[in-house]
């Protein structure tokens, strides 16, 4: 579900319902791993890096893909947050996020590359964590992602 913008770009909104859309969590604390039997490499290999895999939903609550979020605050690598979104019918997007959220709570980022439908696009991505969503389906919190993508200036689409 894409909203076309006056500049020829498009905006899409996705979300992740927590905890039910979390598929995997890998981090140095083995007590918080999902699935529980996940063996995360020792700190010598990956430092404090953590990786999560999620189901991604559209505004109609339909699962339309998967996303992975990798983050680290280690000085050895420099702090980073990166998303990879894979939408099977359309392609993938790789995004680097800013470390610190803005005053309004959004973490901003830029699309670094894409495949298939996203290969010729560029743009930005925003991430927002909403802590208290409590609903009847067991959703406790939510991650919202918004992409704002546009084709190159030479595109006539």
Each residue of 89-137: pLDDT tens digit?
A: 899 999 999 999 999 999 999 999 999 999 999 999 999 999 887 676 7
Each residue of 26-67: pLDDT tens digit?
A: 877 777 778 877 877 766 656 678 899 999 999 999 999 999
pLDDT at residue number 155: 45
- Its domain, for residue 79, covers 3-35+44-150
- Is 155 among the domain residues? no
- Is 85 among the domain residues? yes
- Is 135 among the domain residues? yes
pLDDT at 153 over 70: no
pLDDT at residue number 43: 61
Check residues 42 and 138 and name the one with the higher pLDDT: 138
pLDDT at residue number 6: 60
The answer to whether the beta carbons of residues 91 and 118 sit under 8 Å apart is: yes
Domain total in the chain: 1
Task: Give me 72's structure tokens.
Answer: 């680290």
> What is the CATH number for 78?
2.40.480.10
- Is 157 among the domain residues? no
- Is 120 among the domain residues? yes
Backbone angles phi, psi at 46, to 5 degrees: -125, 5
């Amino acid at each position: 579900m894409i909203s076309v913008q006056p500049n020829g770009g498009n905006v899409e909104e996705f979300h992740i319902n927590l905890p039910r859309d979390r598929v995997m969590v890998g981090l140095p604390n083995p007590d918080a791993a999902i699935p529980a039997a996940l063996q995360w490499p020792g700190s010598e290999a990956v430092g404090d890096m953590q990786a999560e895999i999620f189901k991604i939903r559209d505004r109609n609550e339909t699962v339309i893909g998967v996303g992975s979020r990798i983050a680290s605050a280690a000085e050895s690598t420099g702090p980073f947050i990166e998303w990879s979104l894979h939408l099977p019918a359309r392609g993938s997007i790789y995004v680097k996020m800013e470390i610190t959220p803005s005053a309004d709570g959004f973490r901003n980022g830029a699309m670094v590359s894409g495949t298939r439908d996203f290969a010729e696009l560029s743009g930005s991505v925003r991430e927002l964590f909403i802590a208290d969503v409590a609903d009847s389906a067991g959703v406790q919190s939510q991650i919202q992602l918004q992409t704002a993508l546009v084709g190159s200036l030479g595109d006539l689409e």
